[in-house]
């Protein structure tokens, strides 16, 4: 008889317990989102907002500074002198254009030194985001200068060659060149450029590596090598990437991510980065940005001839196919690139949102993803208005990302309430 009495007691208990659970408040994604947002408040939130909002003005002032540097090269006749020097060195016009790029990058970068120091060092230090001393920071800027000399010398030569071959349709050449250049740098950067600034080592065996390998293998991502790089020596931002194309593919995460996040946060971030690889975002972004630059080149092909005809002789420019006219092209394209900021941001932001959704599906860590989004909000305004987000954000805002993760949690988990 005892088993029956126990069974009867259990049944009665269920009658009491089940209705109580049925009346529990359902999980509310918006309330959960607000709970996360409330963890960033006071001085920390004010600083995050101020830093990011200040970046809006940096877009404008940075453009004006670049235009000023190019105008100085034209007004002083330095651009024509660079061309004359290149012509004395060689008779080959393609090589002349490459040689022109060397003093062009050096002098224009020198003109912009005060601006570079303020935006890249002083301001970052003021907001507590940079961990480098000035000497180390300046050393990396010198490496960047060398890389810019090489890259811009080639770009200038290719664009000017296109202008000489087809003065009216060179922008078509420029569009394809821009896309191919982006693909090229996406391929070589992980292997040859990134190690110039950081040391890459294999991630040690353990729970983090096991989790990353498991997620990668579940989506067919090569995971033979997973690298950690020492970015804490430069700043404290968390970061990771699945970069490269074909044989140059690398899964990498910085040491800040390992030090400042839990396993669930790390998995969420890495799931997001894997999304970029699986969804072919590198190639799609290269095509998208190629079209953006193509539009800017097309407008430049219509505007620059008039500028050169009006003021070119005074600047020592012989025609639109003269490499000394490069600063004119640069000024026009720089202004157009600023005007295209919402388009560029939308291209990137849409892919970041796709990667967010992918990462939630592969990692299944909505709270980890929300917590990582809160960490990123140390330097990104967490709750912008819709127009503000459209214009200035190249990633979804912290609020958007936390809300997405809470909605995913409500849809996919049996009991989505925080434990």
Q: Model confidence over 341-382: pLDDT tens digits?
A: 999 999 999 999 999 999 999 999 999 999 999 999 989 999
Count CA within 13 A, CB hemisphere, residue 252. 20
Here the tokens at position 184 are 């090229």
- Residue 336's pLDDT band (cuts 50, 70, 90): very high
Q: Tell me if 390 is assigned to some domain.
A: no
Q: Tell me if 155 is assigned to some domain.
A: yes
Angle CA(103)–CA(108)–CA(113) in degrees, nearest 5?
125
Domain residues for the domain of 312 are 44-181+294-345
Q: Tell me if 29 is assigned to some domain.
A: no
Q: Please tell me the predicted confidence (pLDDT) of residue 51.
A: 96
| Distances in whole angstroms, Cα of residue 235 to Cα of each of 53, 126, 301, 394 | 20, 13, 41, 20
Q: Tell me if 317 is assigned to some domain.
A: yes
Q: Tell me if 13 is assigned to some domain.
A: no
Q: Are strands 250-254 and 240-243 parallel, antiparallel or unpaired?
A: antiparallel
Q: Tell me if 331 is assigned to some domain.
A: yes
Here the tokens at position 125 are 């230090």
Q: Report which of 83, 122, 123 is spatially closest to residue 99, judged by C-alpha positions.
A: 83
Mean pLDDT score, 182-210: 88
Q: Please tell me the predicted confidence (pLDDT) of residue 9.
A: 35
Question: What whole-number percentage of the chain has pLDDT above 90?
Answer: 79
Here the tokens at position 23 are 């009346």
Question: How far apart, in whole angstroms, are the C-alpha atoms of residue 410 and residue 40?
Answer: 23
Q: Tell me if 149 is assigned to some domain.
A: yes
- For 92-155, the three-class secondary structure string (H helix, E strand, C coil) is CHHHHHHHHHHHHHHHHHHHCHHHHHHHHHHHHHHCCCECCCHHHHHHHHHHHHHHHHHHHHHH
Higher pLDDT, 202 or 248: 202
Q: Report which of 377, 300, 370 is spatially closest to residue 337, judged by C-alpha positions.
A: 300
Please tell me the total count of domains within the chain.
1
Residue 7, pLDDT above cutoff 80: no
Q: Please tell me the predicted confidence (pLDDT) of residue 15.
A: 38
Per-residue model confidence as pLDDT tens digits over 279-298: 989 889 989 999 999 999 99
Per-residue model confidence as pLDDT tens digits over 234-243: 999 999 988 7
Q: Tell me if 305 is assigned to some domain.
A: yes
């Amino acid at each position: 008889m005892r088993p029956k009495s126990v069974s009867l007691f259990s049944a009665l208990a269920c009658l009491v317990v089940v209705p109580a659970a049925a009346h529990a408040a359902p999980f509310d994604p918006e309330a959960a989102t607000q709970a996360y947002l409330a963890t960033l408040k006071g001085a920390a939130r004010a600083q995050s907002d101020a830093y990011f909002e200040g970046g809006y003005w940096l877009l404008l002032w940075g453009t004006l500074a670049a235009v000023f540097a190019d105008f100085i090269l034209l007004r002083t006749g330095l651009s024509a002198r660079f061309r004359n020097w290149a012509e004395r060195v060689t008779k080959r016009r393609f090589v002349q254009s490459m040689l022109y790029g060397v003093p062009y990058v050096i002098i224009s970068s020198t003109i912009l030194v005060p601006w570079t120091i303020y935006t890249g060092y002083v301001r970052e230090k003021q907001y507590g985001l940079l961990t480098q001393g000035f000497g180390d920071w300046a050393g990396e800027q010198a490496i960047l200068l060398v890389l810019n000399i090489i890259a811009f010398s080639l770009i200038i030569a290719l664009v000017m060659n296109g202008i000489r071959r087809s003065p009216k349709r060179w922008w078509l050449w420029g569009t394809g060149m821009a896309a191919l250049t982006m693909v090229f740098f996406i391929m070589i950067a992980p292997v040859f450029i990134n190690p110039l600034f950081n040391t890459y080592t294999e991630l040690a065996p353990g729970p983090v590596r096991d989790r990353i390998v498991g997620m990668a293998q579940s989506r067919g991502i090569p995971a033979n090598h997973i690298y950690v790089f020492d970015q804490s020596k430069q700043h404290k931002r968390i970061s990771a990437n699945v970069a490269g194309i074909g044989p140059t593919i690398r899964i990498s995460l910085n040491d800040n991510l390992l030090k400042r996040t839990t396993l669930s946060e790390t998995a969420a971030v890495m799931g997001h980065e894997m999304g970029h690889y699986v969804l072919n975002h590198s190639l799609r972004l290269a095509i998208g940005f190629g079209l953006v630059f193509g539009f800017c080149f097309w407008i430049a092909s219509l505007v620059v001839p008039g500028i050169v005809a009006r003021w070119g002789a005074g600047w020592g420019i012989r025609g639109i196919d003269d490499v000394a006219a490069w600063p004119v092209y640069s000024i026009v394209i720089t202004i157009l690139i600023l005007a295209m900021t919402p388009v560029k941001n939308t291209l990137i932001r849409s892919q970041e949102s796709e990667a967010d959704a992918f990462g939630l599906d592969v990692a299944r860590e909505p709270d980890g993803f929300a917590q990582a989004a809160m960490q990123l909000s140390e330097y990104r305004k967490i709750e912008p208005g819709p127009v503000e987000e459209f214009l200035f954000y190249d990633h979804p805002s912290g609020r958007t990302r936390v809300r997405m993760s809470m909605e995913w949690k409500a849809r996919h988990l049996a009991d989505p309430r925080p434990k």
